[in-house]
Amino acid sequence: MTEQIFSYQQLSQFIQKIFLAIGCSLNDSCTATKVLLSADIRGIDSHGVARLNGYIRLWEAKRINSNPTIKIIHETPSTATIDGDAGLGLVVAPYAMQIAINKAKNVGTGWVSVGNSNHFGIAGYHAMMALEHDMIGIAMTNASALVAPTFSVERMLGTNPIAVAIPALQQPPFIADFATTTAANGKLEILQRKNEDAPLGWVQDKNANASTDANILKKEGTLLPLGSDREHGSHKGYALGSIVDIFSAVLSGGSYGPWAPPFPAYVPMPENMPGKGLGHFFGAMRVDAFRPAKEFKQHMDNWIERFRNAKPATGFDKILIPGDPEREMEKERMKNGIPIIQSVIDDLKKVGEKFNVTL
């Protein structure tokens, strides 16, 4: 596959101009660009610039409001519920996470459920906002339904990711960020482009038969919950995805389960939606709400060092700590640039032409 290398600055300037062009404020354009590109620099290519066109199409379809009035509609000292006013999730989510952080400053922890929002980029970005405050950050979101519960063939849940960021002292932070499915949809898209099969256990066909067809989602197939099948714990992945759905959208008044709004603007909205838009859930916990921060972070250093030095299987050197691969990628890409595949470049250029912005 052809690809070209772009610098962070090149992409950043382009994206920001696009967000400005659809009517976002300067501030919101900056935030949305930063969140979107955090995916590309961390190597989660499916959630970065590759999605810009998708957001623009949702704006064209009037499903995204580029100038939202984000409001707290319910709150207690440690919680808030937010109506995102159909804004870009890339903007609504950092706003909501900041409220969680503020609540945690006051009462130890903050928990914010968000409805009437849209796709928020990578969950990890929002969870990581807590780190500089010596807090543990948590972020999750529901998403368009592509996943069948255990023993079902119907699309009921999204890939519903969970991110948890935990600060350390000398060591880099622990940052887990994962879909609650065996494989994220982005992994299937990579196989489609390469014309390769998927491993057994990632997807099933419309009759619940095992399948290795990377295009099966276009044939009424479904993604499988983490665990793949009942014998390997898919009921646990189904439960995790459900918890994310309920915390994000049932608590907030968002649209949950099979009624989650689809990301592709050409897919009609579900009928009889029980709430508005996508939902997210954020948490921030001050570590010094539990024990002195330095003491906690020293023990995190000890935890991380011990796990990194766990006895490896033959052929492996060090055990990975969640966040290691993305941090390595970030270092590499900030130095040497971000490779973008040709089909995404073509897509970006078309978006640019609409608004007279050149890449």
Nearer to a copy of itself, 326 or 347 (CB): 326
Provide CB contacts within 8 A for 130, sequence distance 6+: 97, 100, 101, 104, 136, 137, 138, 165, 167, 284, 285
Residues 111-150 that bind a copy of itself (CB under 8 A): 111, 113, 136, 148-150
Smallest gap from residue 213 Cβ to a copy of itself (A) = 17
Distance CA 96, CA 81 (A): 9
Smallest gap from residue 65 Cβ to a copy of itself (A) = 22
Binding footprint of a copy of itself, residue count (CB under 8 A): 85
Exposure string over 292-312, b if 16+ CB within 10 A, otherwise e: ebeebbeebeeebeeeeeeee
Exactly one of 124, 173, 253, 261 binds a copy of itself (CB under 8 A); that residue is 253
Nearer to a copy of itself, 219 or 350 (CB): 219
Sketch the per residue contact string, 19 through 48, with a copy of itself: x for CB under 8 A, - otherwise: ------------------------------
DSSP string, 180-207: SBSS-HHHHHHHHHHT-PPPTTSEE-TT
Taking CB under 8 A as the rule, does residue 269 contact a copy of itself?
no
Smallest gap from residue 302 Cβ to a copy of itself (A) = 6
Distance CA 323, CA 107 (A): 28
Residues 72-111 that bind a copy of itself (CB under 8 A): 74-79, 81, 106-109, 111
Distance CA 101, CA 126 (A): 11
Residues 176-205 that bind a copy of itself (CB under 8 A): 176, 178-183, 199, 201-202
| 3-class secondary structure, 76 | strand
Provide CB contacts within 8 A for 302, sequence distance 6+: none
Pick from 15, 50, 42: nearest CA to 343: 50
Taking CB under 8 A as the rule, does residue 294 contact a copy of itself?
no
Nearer to a copy of itself, 176 or 190 (CB): 176
Decide if 39 contacts 12 (C-beta within 8 A).
Answer: no
Taking CB under 8 A as the rule, does residue 336 contact a copy of itself?
no
Residues 2-21 that bind a copy of itself (CB under 8 A): none
Exactly one of 21, 30, 169, 243 binds a copy of itself (CB under 8 A); that residue is 243
